[in-house]
């Protein structure tokens, strides 16, 4: 009889212990679980990891003309090209010259060049380009440079921006001019890209006053975070 009582008491204690263990396990909040904490932290760290320079690949695409140009005479390197190379010196990245497939732009007369530019603009032309950017998708930041042509950009630059998917990328515009200033970003606002503040630099300053041009370029790059 005594033995039976002992067994039932032990069985009862065992049951109580088992039920308590299951109850406590089910009530333990996951935040008390060290493994769960470690997993969560890792995930957050991955998400908020600051983008390092190796994460951002830069392309500097530009359109620029040589030959007879306003205020600088017969130039061997275009004004916008000069600025593009200054930018590359500071931020790195790859240079890409936007060239038309059939180059009929006069180099012997500035006036004739302005006429061709005007005619392209009036026709809303989209001149075919000579080459494509390889692995465009791998670039995260694209500088786009152009001379001011009749208050806007050369039509070949429209061909360029309409040829690629800029969604999620950062565009940094720059232009050279001879009086009307930065000619804006028409056509770039609707590309789904983040558009940074552009700069306009006098062409003759880019060409003939390089130290001054460099100062302007570096101050602008600093202002926009490069
Ligand atoms: C077709 C054409 C149109 C131009 N229109 C303007 C203009 O509207 N406003 C301006 O300030 N400069 C104008 N310019 C001057 C250029 O913007 C300037 O010379 C520029 O620096 C040239 O750059 P590039 O050598 O890179 O081609 C024009 C030049 C050309 C050839």
152 Cα to the center of ligand 1, angstroms = 9
In the numeric block, which tokens belong to residue 179?
């009086």
Residue 119 pLDDT: 98
| Domains within the chain, CATH numbers bracketed | 56-223 (3.40.50.360)
For residue range 37-79, list pLDDT tens digits in order.
333 333 333 333 333 445 679 999 999 999 999 999 999 999 9
Instruction: Supply the pLDDT for residue 158.
Output: 98
Alpha-carbon distances of 132 from 32, 124, 163, rounded to whole Å: 55, 21, 9
**63 CB-contact burial (10 Å; exposed 0-12 / middle 13-18 / buried 19+):** buried
**At residue 45, what are phi and psi to the nearest 5 degrees?**
-60, -40
The number of residues in the chain equals: 226
Please count the helices (runs of H) and the strands (runs of E) in the chain: 7, 8
Give the other-Cβ count within 10 Å of 107's Cβ: 15
Percent of the chain having pLDDT more than 90? 75
pTM of the predicted model, to two decimals?
0.80
- Determine the distance separating the centroid of ligand 1 and the alpha carbon of 73, expressed in angstroms: 13
Q: Which residue ranges have their beta carbon within 6 Å of ligand 1?
A: 64-65, 69-70, 78-81, 113-114, 117, 147-151, 176-180, 203
Span 147-157, pLDDT tens digits: 999 999 999 99
Question: Is residue 26 within a helix (H) or strand (E), and if so which, with residue range?
Answer: helix 2-27
- Write the pLDDT tens digit of every residue in 188-213: 999 999 999 999 999 999 999 999 99
Q: β-strand 73-75 against 67-69: which pairing, if any?
A: antiparallel
Number of neighbours of residue 143 by Cβ within 10 angstroms: 27
């Amino acid at each position: 009889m005594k033995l039976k009582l002992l067994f039932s008491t032990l069985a009862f204690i065992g049951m109580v212990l088992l039920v308590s263990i299951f109850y406590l396990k089910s009530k333990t909040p996951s935040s008390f679980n060290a493994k769960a904490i470690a997993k969560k932290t890792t995930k957050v760290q991955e998400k908020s990891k600051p983008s390092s320079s190796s994460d951002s690949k830069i392309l500097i695409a530009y359109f620029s003309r040589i030959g007879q140009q306003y205020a600088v005479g017969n130039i061997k390197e275009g004004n916008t090209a000069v600025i593009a190379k200054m930018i590359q010196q500071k931020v790195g990245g790859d240079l890409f010259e936007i060239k038309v497939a059939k180059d009929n732009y006069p180099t012997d007369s500035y006036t004739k060049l302005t006429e061709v530019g005007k005619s392209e603009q009036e026709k809303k032309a989209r001149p075919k380009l000579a080459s494509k950017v390889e692995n465009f998708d791998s670039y995260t930041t694209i500088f786009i440079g152009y001379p001011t042509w009749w208050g806007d950009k050369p039509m070949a630059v429209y061909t360029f921006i309409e040829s690629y998917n800029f969604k999620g990328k950062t565009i940094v515009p720059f232009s050279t001019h001879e009086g009307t200033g930065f000619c804006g970003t028409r056509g770039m606002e609707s590309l789904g890209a983040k558009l940074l503040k552009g700069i306009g630099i006098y062409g003759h300053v880019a060409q003939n006053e390089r130290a001054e041009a460099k100062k302007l370029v570096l101050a602008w790059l600093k202002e926009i975070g490069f």
